[in-house]
Structure 1
Amino acid sequence: MTSPFDLSGKTAIVTGSTRGIGRAIAEALIAQDARVVISSESADDTARAAGELGMPGLACDVSDDSAQAALVGFAVKELGGLDILVCNAGITGKAGPFAEIDMDDYARVMAINLRSQVVLCNLALPRIAERGGGAAVLVASLSGLRGNGRINAYALAKAGVAQLARNLAVEWGPQGVRVNAISPGFIATELSQPLLDDAAFMARRMAMTPLRRPGTPAEVAGVAAFLASPAGAFVTGHNLVVDGGTLITDGS
C-alpha cells in the first residue's frame, strides 16, 4: 500500500532552502521521494546545499521578478515539470514600533516576504495546473496572527501571506491546485540563536507556550510535507499554525 505522504514522481521548488526551516522542508520532501530544486539568494550556499542533497540548485534573489521567472523555468527544464511550490524565503527586518519604522526597511521586508510570493505563485501555479494539479505552501508566521509591539513590517507581511493563500486557493482550486499557509511560532534555528541564548526572553516565551519548548525546523517541515502530499489532498486555503500552542494559551 502506498503511503499517503508519498511524493514519488513529484517535483518541487523550495525557496530559501539552504538552511533552517527551508532546508528542513526540502529534506522532508526528498525523504518522500520528491525531486526538489534548492534555492537561496547566495550562489555559494545554493551550490553547497544542492550538492549535499543531490538535487539541482539555482540561486535566486526573490526580490527580482526575472530571477524568479528563471527559477521556475529552471525547475521545469531540470525536472520536467512542477508539482509543488514552497515559498519560504524571507527576512525579519528591523525590530521596533511602527511609529519609528524605517520605510526603506519596510519596503524591502514587504518586497521579499509578500510581493515575492505573489510573483512566484503567479509564475508557478500555471505550471502546476498544467500537470493536473498540485500544491503550494506559503510560509507565514505566528506573528501575523497576534499583536506585537516590536515586530512591525514582518508581521504585516506574514498576515498578508496567509490571506494570499486563501485567495489563491479560491482562484486555483477549480484547476486542482491547493494553496495553504504555515504559521510557525518560535522555532530553534541559527537565526533565532540570540533569543535562545536570552534567558529572560526564553522564560517569558516558554511560559506562554503550552508545550514549554521551542519547535524544530523538522516539525515545521513535516507539516509542509503533509500539505504537499496526497495526505492533504482535501486541505486548501488553510493557515496551519505550528507553535506549540502559543496562539491559544492564556499563559497558564
Structure 2
Amino acid sequence: MPRFDDRTVLVTGGTGGQGSSHVRAFHAEGANVVIGGLDAERGAALADELGARARFTRLDVTDESSWCAAVQAAESVFGALHVLVNNAGVQNPPALIEDTDQATWSRILDVNLTGTFLGMKVAAPALRRAAGGAVVNIASTMALGGTAHYAPYVAGKWAVRGLTRTAALELGRDRIRVNTIHPGVIATPFIHEPAAGAVSAIADFYSPEPFAVPRLGEPIDVSRLLLFLASSEASFITGSEYVIDGGLLLGPALQAETA
C-alpha cells in the first residue's frame, strides 16, 4: 500500500526544480497533491500531467489571505490537509552586507521566513482538524554556518530553524510533527541560474569534486528524505534537522597518495 493513500499534501514552490520533484514523489506514493505557486501555466501543466489527484492553486506565500485560500482549496477538493511542505524560496543576488539594499533584505525574508511562518500559522488548524499530520520546512546548509555575500538568505534560513523548533513544541500534543531539511547544492535552476539582479549562479562557486560524495545533489535525493519525514514511519521524530549535502559540510575528502 502506498504510504500516502487518502492523504493530502500541499507543496509550496511546487512548480520549481525541487518542488515539482516533491509533488511527483508524493503523488507516486498515493497522495492527493496541491501544487502551490505563482506560475499558473507550469502549475496547471503539472496538475494535468498527474491527473485527478492533483490540483494547482495560486499561492503567494507572503500573503496570509493567499494561504487561507490554498488551505481551503485543499480541504474543499480533497476533504482534509495532512502534510505541509514549506518549499518555496528565493535567493538574493550576491553582495556584501554593506552593499545589500533593504528592499532585497525584506523580499528574501518575506518569502523564505515569513512565508514559512504564515504557512504553519494557517495550516495548523487544518492539520489539527485532520487529527494530526506533518510539516516539513525546507531550509539550507546555509542555515548551519555563515556564507559570505548571502546575508539575507542565510539569516532567513537560520531563523527557519528556530521557528521549526518552536512550532514542534507548540504542535506536538496535537500529533503534528514539524521537521527541517537542509539541502546542500542541488542541481536545479535555483542553483544553475543567477538570481534576479545577479551575474553569477551559486553553482559557479561550488565544485563537488573535493567532497565525500563528489556530485551535485538531485531533487529526488531530497524528495526521498521528505517522504520519510512526512510519513508515519517518522512518527517519533519532531523538531529535528536533516542535512542532505553529500558531505559538503564535512570538508574536503583528502585522498591518500599511493606508491
Aligned to 1:114: 113
Aligned to 2:4: 7
Structure 2 unaligned regions, length at least 5 = 194-200, 255-259
Aligned length: 245
C-alpha contact (below 8 Å) 1:42/1:60 kept by paired residues: no
> Which amino acid counterpart does residue 190 of structure 1 have in structure 2?
P
Hey, what's the Cα distance between the residues in 2 that align with 1:67 and 1:187?
Answer: 28
Aligned to 1:37: 34
C-alpha contact (below 8 Å) 2:164/2:180 kept by paired residues: yes
Hey, what's the Cα distance between the residues in 1 that align with 2:227 and 2:70?
Answer: 21
In the alignment, structure 1 residue 79 sits paired with structure 2 residue 81: no
**Residue correspondence of structure 1 range 123-202 to structure 2 within 5 A:** 123-194=122-193, 195=201, 198=204, 201-202=205-206
C-alpha contact (below 8 Å) 1:206/1:214 kept by paired residues: no
Hey, what's the Cα distance between the residues in 2 that align with 1:142 and 1:82?
Answer: 29
Aligned to 2:221: 219
Hey, what's the Cα distance between the residues in 1 that align with 2:202 and 2:114?
Answer: 30
In the alignment, structure 1 residue 96 sits paired with structure 2 residue 101: no
Structure 1 unaligned regions, length at least 5 = none
> Which amino acid counterpart does residue 28 of structure 2 have in structure 1?
A
Aligned to 2:14: 17
C-alpha contact (below 8 Å) 2:212/2:252 kept by paired residues: no
- Deviation of the 1:116 alpha carbon: 1.1
- Deviation of the 1:118 alpha carbon: 0.6
- Supply the RMSD in Å over aligned alpha carbons: 1.6
Hey, what's the Cα distance between the residues in 2 that align with 1:233 and 1:21?
Answer: 24
Q: Choose from 44, 48, 53 the match for 1:47.
A: 44
User: Secondary structure of 2:59's match?
Assistant: coil
Q: Choose from 201, 204, 209 the match for 1:206.
A: 209
Hey, what's the Cα distance between the residues in 2 that align with 1:106 and 1:202?
Answer: 24
Divergent runs of 4+, >6 A: none
Q: Choose from 243, 246, 252 the match for 2:245.
A: 243
Percent of aligned positions that are identical: 33
> Which amino acid counterpart does residue 180 of structure 1 have in structure 2?
N
- Deviation of the 1:193 alpha carbon: 2.0
Aligned to 2:198: none
- TM norm structure 1: 0.92
- TM norm structure 2: 0.90
C-alpha contact (below 8 Å) 1:140/1:162 kept by paired residues: yes
C-alpha contact (below 8 Å) 2:23/2:33 kept by paired residues: yes
Aligned to 1:63: 62
In the alignment, structure 1 residue 26 sits paired with structure 2 residue 18: no
Hey, what's the Cα distance between the residues in 2 that align with 1:169 and 1:197?
Answer: 33
